[in-house]
Amino acid sequence: MTETERIQELRTELHQHNYNYYVLNQPTISDQDFDKMMHELQDLEAKYPELYDPNSPTQRVGSDLNNEFETVVHKRPMLSLANTYNKEEVKDFYNRVKEGLHGAPFQICCELKFDGLSISLHYEHGQLVKAVTRGDGIQGDDVTSNVRTIRSIPLQLAKEMDYPDEFEIRGEVLMPWSSFDQLNKQREDDEEPLFANPRNAASGTLKSKVSSTVAQRGLDAYLYYLLGDNIPDDGHYENLQKAHEWGFQISKNIRLVNSLQGIYDYIDYWDQERKNLPVATDGVVLKVNSLAQQRSLGMTAKSPRWAIAYKFQAEQAETILRQVVYQIGRTGAVTPVANMDPVQLAGTQVRRATLHNADVMQKLHLHVGDHVLVEKGGEIIPKIIDNLTENSNPKHLINFVANCPVCRTPLVRYEGETSHYCPNETGCPPLILGRIEHFISRKAMNINSLGFETVDDFFQRGLIHDAADLYELTEEQLLTSEGGGQINAKNILQSIQESKDVPFERVLYAIGIRFVGEIAAKTIARNLGSMEAVANVTLDKLLEISGIGTIIAQSIIHYFKDPINQRFVQRLQKYGLQMKLSETELSSHSDRLAGKSIVISGVFAHHSRDEYKALIEKHNGKNVGSISGKTSFILAGENMGPAKLEKAQKLGVPILSEDEFLKMIE
C-alpha cells in the first residue's frame, strides 16, 4: 500500500471510529489506538500537503486562525415555528390540521425541542461542504470551519450508503450539560462571567472566531429535518431514520402518534423525564409526518401550518430571602447574590439566586425575610423573579452597595452599562489579579507555563503585585511556591523570557486598557507605531484613526494619565518588552487600503483567505462579511457565489481579481 492510499484508508477508518464513539456510543478501539492512527494521519498529511482535505478527521481540532464569518443566503428559508404554552392550543393546532386535510388520516411526528442553535448542513456527494446558522431565516453565517470540529457531525458519509448527490439536513447545535458544567466551572475558577444556560454557551461557542476554541468545548448536534430534491421517503420520520443509517445523530426519542391523546401522552412524559436527559430541552415539536400533506397545508408568512412548538413551563418555587451578598469579578463588575432557605428546584437544591444588578434589586423591593419566587428554567444560576411579600417595612429595604465589597472604593456605573464597577484597578485585589491574568493570556503575552492558580499563589505570597513583577521572579522564589519543582520553575522562567519577543500590538493589548481589545490594539499600534506615541497622543489624533471611537480614545488618555500605569509601562520597557513596531512590521504596513471595506469571496491560488484578510489589515483596510452599498470592492477568486455576484452587480460594487488586488497593494 502506498502512503497516499494509506491516507485514504486512515481517513475512512477514523471517520467510522468517530461515528462509533460520538453517535453510537459504542467505541470499537481504545483511545490510545485512535490517537496513534490520528498521529499517523497527521504526519502523512504534512508530508503530502497537496492531498489536503477540509473534511479530514485531522480538521476536528480546529485552527487558531481568526475566522470572519461570511453571510450566506439560505437556499430554502429557515422559518420559525409558532409557539404554544398550553394543551388547548395544541388541540386547536390538531383540529386545524384535520380540517386542512379534509378528514384524511394523518400522523404527527413528536420530537423533543432541543435548546441550542439552529444549523443547516449541506452535503454534496457525501461530503460536508457548508454549515450555516439560521440567522434571520433568510440568511445566516457560514460557520463551516467551526462545525467541522463537532465530532457527532459526519464530515464524510460512507460511500456504500444510498444517499442523494446533494441534500440539506437541519438540526440543533447544543452543549451537553456535562460540557456546560465543565466550562462554567473553569470560568468560575477564572472569575469570568458564567454562561446563563447551555443555549447561550453553544451559541457563543459556535460563533467563536477561533475554531480551536470550539473544538475544546465539547459541542454536540442532533439533526431533525432532511431536505432536498431526491430525499428517500414521503415520511418525515422515515427520512430521519434513513439519515441515521447514513451516519447522522438523530434523537432516539422521536415518536409517531395517530391521535391527540398520543400527543398529550408524549408531552406529559417528557415534561418530567427531560430532567434526566444529557442535554437541555425546552419543549416538544409536533409535525405532520407526510411531506405531501405538509405541502398541502402550506405556510403562513412566518411559519408552517403543519408544525408547532409546545414550550414547557420554567420551574418555580417559593422560599425566604435571608441575605444579599456581593461578588466582585476580575473585571470589577459587582453582582448581588441572594442567599435563601434551601428549596428543591429543577432536580437540585437551590440556596442562592442571582439578582443581576442594582436595577433588578430596586424593582423587587427586597427585605430580609421576604417570601420570594425563584425560577430556574435553562438558567444555571436561579433567579428571583418576584417578591411575594407585600407592605414590608421600607426602613429595612435592601439597597445596592455604594462601595466595593473588597476595597471599599466608591463604585461607578459607566454610561450604557447595567452593572456597577469598582474603578480601583491598581489597588483592588480581584482587579489586580484580573489584570495579571489578562496579561499572561494566550492572546496577550502568552506566558503559557503560568496557570491562574499559580498566579493567585504568587500574589497571595507577595511575590508579585502587578504583571511587571513577573519579570523579576527568580528560580529560588519559584521553587518555594506551591507545586514548585525545578523543571516547572525553569519552564515558567523560560516562558516569561520568551514573552519579551511578543510583538508590540499584543503588548498594547496586554497592558489592559479598558475597552481596548485585540482589534483596537492592533489598529492603534499600526497607526501610531510605538508605546511612547500612544502614551502622548492627543484625543483628536486618536479620533482620526478609523475604527477608534470616543469611548476607546478617552480610555487610552485616562490610562496614561495615571502615574501608576505610567510606572508600570516604564518597567515593562526596562525589562525588554517590545514597545514599538519592528522595521519589518513598519515596512509591511501602509495606508493603501485606508477607509476601504472589502469582501473576500471564492477560492484563491496565491494566498489563503486568511492570508488575504491579514494583508487587508496590514494595509489599513477593513474586512467585512457581506456586500452592501458601502462595500469598496470584492476580492474575488474562483467559484465566487452567484448570489454575491448578482448582488455586487446590482449595487455596482467593483470586483477585483487576485492579481489586480496584489498589484494594488504592491
The catalytic site residues sit at: 113
DSSP 3-state of 327: strand
Report residue 253 as a C-alpha cell: 426519542
Q: Which residue has the cell 473553569?
A: 186
CB 364 within 8 A of CB 389: no
CB 624 within 8 A of CB 631: yes
DSSP 3-state of 644: helix
Residue 420 phi, psi (nearest 5): -100, 150
- Continuous H helices in 350-409: 358-364
Hey, what amino acid is at 610? D
- Continuous H helices in 207-329: 211-216, 236-246, 260-273, 291-297
Name the pairing type of β-strands 597-601 and 633-636.
parallel
- Residue 76 to residues 137, 214, 661, Cα–Cα distance (Å): 9, 27, 34
Report residue 641 as a C-alpha cell: 457565489
Name the pairing type of β-strands 71-73 and 139-141.
antiparallel
DSSP 3-state of 402: coil
Q: Which residue has the cell 483592588?
A: 428
DSSP 3-state of 232: coil
Show contacts of 86-93: CB within 8 Å, 24+ apart.
Answer: 87/264, 87/267, 89/308, 90/260, 90/263, 90/264, 90/267, 90/286, 90/308, 90/310, 91/260, 93/286, 93/308
Q: Is 488 exposed, middle or buried (0-12, 13-18, 19+ CB in 10 A)?
A: middle
Report residue 348 as a C-alpha cell: 437540585
Which of 549, 488, 562, 558 is CA-nearest to residue 517?
549
CB atoms within 10 A of CB 614: 15
Could you give the CA distance from residue 393 to residue 218 in angstroms, rounded to a whole number?
Answer: 49
Could you give the CA distance from residue 437 to residue 444 in angstroms, rounded to a whole number?
Answer: 10
Residues in the chain: 666
Q: Is 154 exposed, middle or buried (0-12, 13-18, 19+ CB in 10 A)?
A: buried
**DSSP 8-state secondary structure symbol assigned to residue 400:** P
Name the pairing type of β-strands 348-354 and 307-311.
unpaired
Could you give the CA distance from residue 286 to residue 265 in angstroms, rounded to a whole number?
Answer: 13
Could you give the CA distance from residue 171 to residue 221 in angstroms, rounded to a whole number?
Answer: 7
Which of 56, 105, 373 is CA-nearest to residue 258?
105
CB 376 within 8 A of CB 314: yes
CB atoms within 10 A of CB 417: 11
Could you give the CA distance from residue 595 to residue 664 in angstroms, rounded to a whole number?
Answer: 15
CB 352 within 8 A of CB 384: no
Hey, what amino acid is at 523? T
Report residue 636 as a C-alpha cell: 474575488
